[in-house]
């Protein structure tokens, strides 16, 4: 379907099923963290999926391309991003499979029915408080800092919306790992799988991918590290696989 592009917007190829996405580089573009999350996550064709804080819809688009879920929903508080996501859904003729809802993660348990999703994904804001913020209302600031929601907001709403035995997938920063595990267990989302992401083999990890199960038993698998670059500008083979190149 042909869609209207607004000022400063562009169309990018997602390298999956011929899907494309509308982005505005001056506002916010999806990053590697969202792509790696979809590479780490799993879903089934019968699953109903929710992506919290979907931004411009990258995760529902990639999850649909990979797993052809029964239905996918993206929740996004910023109307401008939600509008871009809706137009990207229309651009790929996926209106019957993906819904984009404008709303607040803190209100998610009022927007959606309890225990109604098989799978929930989230690439939440990583940074705590106002450190380094010049304009807290800027779209990039809202996406990266806990301006409008906290980690506990994300986890507590996820616990209400997941079906028993449902899976939660999140990408975050390793420096908050102890807090992440504590909050997940508090809301009975049992951590089941974890993978650390390293920019280079000799650097510290800068991302962590986590899978938790609502009401799962206490046992977690730590997967082998994921290394992003073998040399500046050259991805490791696993990264090319995730991107679909």
User: For the chain, which domains are there?
Assistant: 10-243 (3.40.50.150)
- Provide the pLDDT confidence category of residue 128 given band limits of 50, 70 and 90: low
Residue 139 has pLDDT above 80, yes or no: no
**Residue of higher predicted confidence among 138 and 65:** 65
Residue 146 has pLDDT above 50, yes or no: no
Q: How many CA atoms lie within 13 A of 198 on its CB side?
A: 13
- Provide the pLDDT confidence category of residue 132 given band limits of 50, 70 and 90: low
From residue 71, give the alpha-carbon distance in Å to each of 10, 37, 98: 26, 18, 6
C-alpha R_g of the chain: 17
Confidence at residue 134, expressed as pLDDT on a 0 to 100 scale = 46
Residue 145 has pLDDT above 50, yes or no: no
Q: How much of the chain exceeds pLDDT 70, in percent?
A: 90
Q: How much of the chain exceeds pLDDT 90, in percent?
A: 80
CB 149 within 8 A of CB 53: yes
Among 55-64, 87-96, 233-242, the least confident range: 233-242
**Residue of higher predicted confidence among 237 and 147:** 237
Residue 147 has pLDDT above 60, yes or no: no
CA distance 75 to 11: 21
Query: Whole-model pTM?
Result: 0.92
Among 70-79, 95-104, 210-219, 234-243, the least confident range: 234-243
Q: For the chain, what is the mean pLDDT?
A: 91
Continuous H helices in the chain: 32-40, 58-67, 79-91, 108-111, 139-144, 151-161, 177-186, 237-243
CB 210 within 8 A of CB 194: yes
Q: Which residues pair with 231 in a beta bridge?
A: 234
CA distance 179 to 196: 16
Instruction: Work out whether the CA dihedral 137, 142, 144, 146 comes out positive or negative.
Output: positive
Confidence at residue 140, expressed as pLDDT on a 0 to 100 scale = 52
**Residue of higher predicted confidence among 199 and 142:** 199
CB 79 within 8 A of CB 53: no
CB 220 within 8 A of CB 193: yes
């Amino acid at each position: 379907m042909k869609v209207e592009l607004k000022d400063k917007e562009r169309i990018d190829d997602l390298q999956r099923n011929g899907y494309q996405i509308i982005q505005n580089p001056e506002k916010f573009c999806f990053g590697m963290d969202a792509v790696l999350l979809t590479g780490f996550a799993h879903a089934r064709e019968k699953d109903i999926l929710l992506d919290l804080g979907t931004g411009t819809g990258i995760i529902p688009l990639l999850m649909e391309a990979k797993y052809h879920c029964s239905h996918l929903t993206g929740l996004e508080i910023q109307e401008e991003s939600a509008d871009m996501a809706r137009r990207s859904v229309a651009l790929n003729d996926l209106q019957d499979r993906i819904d984009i809802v404008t709303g607040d993660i803190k209100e998610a348990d009022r927007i959606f029915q309890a225990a109604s999703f098989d799978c929930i994904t989230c690439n939440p804001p990583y940074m705590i408080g106002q450190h380094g913020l010049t304009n807290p209302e800027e779209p990039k600031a809202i996406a990266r800092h806990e301006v409008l929601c906290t980690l506990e907001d994300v986890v507590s709403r996820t616990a209400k919306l997941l079906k028993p035995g449902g899976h939660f997938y999140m990408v975050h920063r390793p420096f908050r790992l102890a807090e992440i595990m504590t909050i997940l267990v508090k809301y009975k989302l049992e951590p089941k799988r974890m993978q650390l992401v390293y920019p280079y083999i000799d650097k510290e990890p800068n991302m962590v991918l986590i899978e938790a199960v609502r009401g799962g038993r206490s046992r977690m698998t730590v997967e082998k590290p994921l290394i992003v670059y073998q040399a500046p500008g050259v991805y490791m083979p696993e990264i090319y696989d995730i991107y679909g190149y």
